[in-house]
Amino acid sequence: MSIHRHCSFELPVWIDSFLDSWQESLQTNTQRMQLAIALAAENVRRETGGPFAALVVNEGSGELVSVGLNLVTRAGLSMAHAEIVALSLAQSALGHWDLSRPENLQLVTTCEPCAMCFGALPWSGIKSVVCGARKKDAESSGFDEGDKPDHWVRSLQRRGIVVQCSVLRSEAVQVLEQYRQNGGTIYNTDRDFGKN
């Protein structure tokens, strides 16, 4: 019996020149979110994926460890959300699955984590999360964010993960709206959840 034994995703080629031209510091959460939103907007503009982006940064120094873009439609993988891509690339760059082993690392994401990405956070070893848009913003744009605990922030904080929400929220929402207005693919919304 033969099965497919390989699965991968790759950031688009424009990412290197985009990051090379980024002149802003990454010392504050607002500055980090500005980069994440700019990446999401560029992903939409270039039609290389969905309207979400994420960064993994060293919380103390502001050093950029990895970036992630939503690559679901580009890679044909439902798991290729920006947070999963950023965490995976950080783990690959650092050579370890546990991101708590180096100094405190932070995930900055243009939208609060969906159900899948929420589940990935505690096991990644990340120490803090900064979010832009909220679940209802993504859902207003047509995305299905899945079910997660109502008190998801407290759930992460009990695990030692600090959470800050709504950083540059309106700017992050603008990227979602631009994607929807441009006719971007809104995936996994044609299912009839909850019916037998």
- Cα angle, residue 145 at apex, residues 139 and 146 outer, rounded to 5°: 130
Verify whether residue 83 is a known catalytic residue: yes
Greatest pairwise CA separation for the chain in angstroms? 53
**Considering Cα of 74, then 7, then 145, then 82, what sign does the dihedral take?**
negative
b/e per residue, 97-124, with b = 16+ CB within 10 A? eebeeeebbbbbbbbbbbeebbebbeeb
Look up residue 77 and give its two tokens. 């993988």
Please tell me which residue in 59, 83, 112, 145 is annotated as part of the active site. 83
CA–CA separation, 190 and 19 (whole Å)? 35
Is the distance from CB of 83 to CB of 113 less than 8 angstroms?
A: yes
- Strands 64-69 and 53-58 turn out to be antiparallel
Closest by Cα among 86, 84, 76 to 49: 76
> Which residues does the annotation mark as catalytic?
83
